[in-house]
Structures are given as C-alpha cells and as structure tokens.
C-alpha cells in the first residue's frame, strides 16, 4: 500500500537493492466498447453477434510517463492536458477490435467510468517488468484506493532477504520469478528428453526403411553388378560407385534435415517466442556429415557380401534366376 513504499525503499537501501518504478494497481472490469456491452464469457451455446470481452478483472494503472518496455504504435501518449483517456495493448486491441477514438467503460468497485482510447501500445512481455493491458490517464483513477507493484533483482546469495522482507511487511506479496523460471526450465528439460526419444525412434525407423529399400533392390543390384563385371568393371570401381551413391544419398538427406530444422526453429523463435533468429552454422556441416556416415555405413553393410562374390559365380546366379 502507499504507506509501505517508504518502508520498502528503506529496506532496499539498507541491502543495496535497486527497485524499479512503482505502478499503482486498481482492479476493474471492461464492460463495454462504444456503449456496446461485452459478453464476458463465450460458450458453444451462445452464438450471438455480441462482442466477447476478456472474461475477468484487469489490473488497471495510471501513468504520466510511457514505460520503457512499451512502444506506442498508433495514436499519442498522454500529455498534461489529457483527460479521461486510456492506452490499450496492441494484441488485446486487435482481439476486441478496439480502435483509436473508441470509448471504453470500466466497472471498478461498483462504480462505472469511461475513457477514450488515445493510443495503442506494443508491450514487451518478456521484460520481467510489470506490464498492463490498459493504462489510463492519471485523472481517471487518482481518487481510487490502489496497491502498488514493483520489481527488483535479487542476487542468488541474497535469497534469505525474502524471509526478512516477509517478516517486515507480512501483508506484502512477494513473487519470486526465479522459481517460476526454474519450473519452466524443468518442463523444457523434460520436453527435450521426450523429443530426443522421439528423434531416436525416427532415426531407427529411417534406418529400417533404408535397409528394407536396399533388400528390396538386392536382385536388381545383382543383375547390375553382373553386367558391369561382364563389361570389365573392376572391384574397386564398383565399390567406389556404391560408396558414392550412398554418400550422395546421405548428404542430401542430411542437408534436407538441416534446412527443415532451421526452418522450424525460425518459425518457433519468430512466431511463438518473438526472439531474434540466428543461423546454427554447426548444423550445416554436421547434418550432411552425419547423413553421409550413417547412410553409407548402413548401405555398405547390406551390400559388402554381394561385392565379395566372384564374378563368375555372380553371373551364374543371375542367369539361373
């Protein structure tokens, strides 16, 4: 609460902690857009043309300065003369079809107030800083009782300070983002292990397909070898031709796998996580090399016995078949 800000600032100063900006927070619900009542919850049975709302209360705040991790993409931020205005986050604006100049009505503690949309903001949700869907001009919520939220970085060796903070201000809620990140990392590790097993199964299946393909063409390869030996081809020439065939096949397979992997990583990083994409140069040589080694090894193991058969015996087998 407002009186506790001074206590928290003193605690932070005593322990060399740097707190971020304090954001006032008021809980409220968006109830209408341009006097059009929002449907708070959409179900399969409700097929009306009524605009669907957010379905829960929002954390509303009021600020005079644009937060560092926010960028105005349309409209203008509040100035000293702004009155009853609201800035809307771009994704929620697109979802609710909110445009500049629209009038939004909020219900806060049984009271209803309205504000005009003056700007649309793009928010960096990965900043680990407090972010808001709706930011109102200071004149709208200044008279409402508010709680405050802030963020600070705590060194790992200072974790015991959280216990001191809880004893000093038992009514303050402390959220450790580090614990959340550890849980997310644990989930990602488990998913990675599961995907690795799936990849291993796929590789084994691909190897079986290659073996089956070679076995299916074994009779045809016997005929080809018999013809080439009749024409005077030597053992070294035939061996090198087979190794070259499987090397090209493995190299193309590895290159295709690398291109597909990079394409999927690009889509996931750009579309899902909004992260910058960088090429993984190691994959561009590792993929083809592994493909060449694996395919050539499997192919040669299947055909080496065929290569050791004497030419006369091989021609006799082909003629008899």
Two structure tokens written together for 237: 């020439």
For tokens 């090894």, what's the residue? 297
Q: What percent of the chain has pLDDT over 70?
A: 94
Tokens of 259: 């291109």
Is residue 125 a part of any domain in this protein?
yes
Tokens of 97: 């079809």
DSSP 10-21: HHHHHTT--B--
Note whether residue 157 is domain-resident. no
Q: How confident is the model at residue 40 (pLDDT cuts 50, 70, 90)?
A: low
| Residue 7, both tokens | 């206590």
CA torsion sign, 16 to 21 to 24 to 25?
Answer: negative
Q: Same structural domain for residues 134 and 249?
A: no
33 with 123, same domain?
yes
**pLDDT tens digits, one per residue of 250-269:** 889 889 988 988 888 888 87
Residue 217 predicted with pLDDT over 60 = yes
Which residue range is the domain that position 143 belongs to?
Answer: 20-41+48-151
What confidence tier does 179 reach under pLDDT thresholds 50, 70, 90?
Answer: confident
The pLDDT assigned to 51 comes to 61
Of 100, 121, 151, the domain-final residue: 151
Per-residue pLDDT at 233 exceeds 80? no
- Between 64 and 54, whose confidence is greater? 64
Name every residue whose Cβ is closer than 8 Å to that of residue 53 and which is 6 or more positions away in sequence. 30, 31, 38, 39, 40, 96
Q: What was the pLDDT predicted at 122?
A: 92
Alpha-carbon distance of 99 to 117, in angstroms, equals 7
Confidence of residue 49 (pLDDT cuts 50, 70, 90): low
The domain tally of the chain equals 2
Most distant pair of Cα atoms in the chain: their distance: 102
Which token pair is 78?
């509040």
The dihedral through the CA atoms of 121, 125, 130, 131 has a sign that is positive
Among residues 134, 151, 168, the one where a domain terminates is 151
| pLDDT, tens only, 90-135 | 988 888 888 999 999 998 888 888 999 999 999 888 777 788 999 9
Q: What are phi and psi of 124, to 5 degrees?
A: -90, 95
- At a CB cut-off of 8 Å and minimum separation 6, what does 149 contact? 22, 23, 25, 59, 130
3-class SS at 305? helix
CA–CA gap between residue 138 and residue 141 (Å, rounded) = 6
Last residue of a domain, one of 117, 133, 151: 151
């Amino acid at each position: 609460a407002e009186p506790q800000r001074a206590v928290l600032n003193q605690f932070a100063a005593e322990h060399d902690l740097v707190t971020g900006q304090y954001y006032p927070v008021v809980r409220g619900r968006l109830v209408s857009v341009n006097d059009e009542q929002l449907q708070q919850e959409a179900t399969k049975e409700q097929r009306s043309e009524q605009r669907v709302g957010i379905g829960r209360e929002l954390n509303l705040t009021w600020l005079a300065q644009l937060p560092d991790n926010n960028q105005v993409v349309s409209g203008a931020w509040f100035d000293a003369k702004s009155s009853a205005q609201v800035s809307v986050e771009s994704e929620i604006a697109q979802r609710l079809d909110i445009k500049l100049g629209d009038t939004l009505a909020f219900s806060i503690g049984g009271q209803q107030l309205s504000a005009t949309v003056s700007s649309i903001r793009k928010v960096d949700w990965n900043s680990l800083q407090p972010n808001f869907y709706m930011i109102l001009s200071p004149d709208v919520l200044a008279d409402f009782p508010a709680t405050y939220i802030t963020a600070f970085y705590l060194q790992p060796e200072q974790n015991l300070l959280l216990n001191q903070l809880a004893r000093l201000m038992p009514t303050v809620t402390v959220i450790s983002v580090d614990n959340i990140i550890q849980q997310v990392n644990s989930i990602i590790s488990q998913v990675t292990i599961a995907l690795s097993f799936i990849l291993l199964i796929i590789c084994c299946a691909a190897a079986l397909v290659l073996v089956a393909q070679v076995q299916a063409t074994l009779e045809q390869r016997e005929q080809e070898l018999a013809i080439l030996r009749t024409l005077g081809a030597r053992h070294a020439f035939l061996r090198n031709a087979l190794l070259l065939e499987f090397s090209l096949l493995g190299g193309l397979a590895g290159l295709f796998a690398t291109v597909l992997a990079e394409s999927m990583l690009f889509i996931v990083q750009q579309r899902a996580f909004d992260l910058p994409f960088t090429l993984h140069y190691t994959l561009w040589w590792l993929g083809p090399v592994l493909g060449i080694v694996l395919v050539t090894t499997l192919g040669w193991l299947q055909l080496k016995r065929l290569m050791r058969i004497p030419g006369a015996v091989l021609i006799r087998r082909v003629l008899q078949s």
